[in-house]
Amino acid sequence: MFYLFAIIAGIIIAVMVQFNGSLTSFYGLYTATFITHLFGLLTSIVITLIKKEKLFRFKKLPFFLYLGGSVGFLTTIFNNLAFGKISISAILALSLFGQAITSLFLDKFGWFGMPKRKFRPFKIIGLLIVFIGISAMLYPFEFDASMIVSIVVSLLSGVTVNVSRAMNATLSDKTSLSNSTTLNYLTGFVVSLICLLIFGIKNHEMIFTNGITFSSDVWIYAGGILGAFVIVLTNMTFNKIDSLYATLLLFVGQVFTGIFIDLVIGQTFSLYLTIGAVLTLLGLIFNLVLDRRKSQKEKDTTL
C-alpha cells in the first residue's frame, strides 16, 4: 500500500510542477510561490478540520522539525526557476538525482530523525546509470547560462525535497499526519509572504503593478492544493520504506507523467527523453535489486 502511495505522489508532483510553472509565468516567481503556499495552507487546514483535530499543535520537539515548510519553499522556488528552460521530465529527473544522492546521506547518518540504514557501495553504480539517463534527457537542449542555472536548481530541488520530506515525516510521527502538513504549509506561507514583500516589490511583479489579477486558466491555482496531498502521501510512506526505494517509486510516477505532459503540451515525442527516463529507472532498479539481495544474504548468515 505504501508503495502505491509513493507512485501516486509522484504522479501528482509532475502535474503540480506544471501548474506551478504556469502560475509563475502569469504572476512572477514570488507571487506564484506565495499563492501556492496560500492554497496549500488552506487545503491542509480543511483536511485537519475534517479530521476534527486541533490546528497548529506544537510539541516540545527539536526546532528544526518545524522548518520543513521553509525548506519546501525553496523546492517551489527552484522548480519555478527551471520551468520553461528545460522540459518537465528533465526537471523531475534532475530533481530525482538530487533526491537519490540525498537519500544515501539520510539513510547513512539518520539526519532529521530518519532511521539509519547501512550504506552499500554498489549504490554508486546505480547512480552512475541514473546520471547517464539524465544526460540523455538533456542532450537535445542547447547549453547556455539559463540552461546551466536550470540544471543546478533542479538538482538542488531534489536535495530540498528530501530534507523537507524527512523533517515532515518525523514531525508526522511525533504529532499527526494532518498536523504536520498544516505546520509545513504554515512555515512555508510565512517565508513566501516575507519573500514576496521583499523581492516581489523589488522585481515589480504583477500584483504590485497591476493589482490583483486572476487568470482565466483556473487550473493553474491548484498547485498548492495538490502539494498538500503530496505531503500527506509522502508523510505516510517516507518513514515506512527505505528512502531510496521511495525515490524509485516517486520517479516512476513523476518522470513518466512528465513525459506524458511534455507530449501533450509540445505535441511531440522525444526519443532522448524516453531513453533517458528508462535508463534512470534501470539505475534505480539496479540499486533496489542488489540492495534486497544483500539484505537477504545478511539475514541468512545471522540465522
pLDDT per position as a tens digit, 66-77: 888 888 888 888
Question: What is the DSSP code (8-state) at residue 143?
Answer: P
CA atoms of 301 and 171, how far apart (whole Å): 36
Q: Which three cell numbers stand for residue 62?
A: 527539536
DSSP 95-121: HHHHHHHHHHHHHHH-GGGPPP----T
Q: Which three cell numbers stand for residue 277?
A: 527516463
What φ, ψ does residue 123 adopt, rounded to 5°? Answer: -65, -25
- Residue 95 reports pLDDT greater than 80: yes
Q: Which of 13-17, 133-137, 193-197, 225-229 has the highest mean pLDDT?
A: 193-197
DSSP 253-275: HHHHHHHHHHHHHH----HHHHH
First to last CA, the chain: 29
- Residue 143 reports pLDDT greater than 70: no
- Residue 193 reports pLDDT greater than 90: yes
Helix (H) or strand (E) holding 205: none
Q: Identify the band that residue 34 occupies on the pLDDT scale cut at 50, 70 and 90.
A: very high
Q: Which of 88-97, 117-126, 199-208 has the highest mean pLDDT?
A: 199-208
How much is the pTM?
0.74
Coil, strand, or helix at residue 242?
coil
CA atoms of 157 and 144, how far apart (whole Å): 20
CA atoms of 35 and 232, how far apart (whole Å): 19
Q: What is the mean pLDDT of the chain?
A: 79
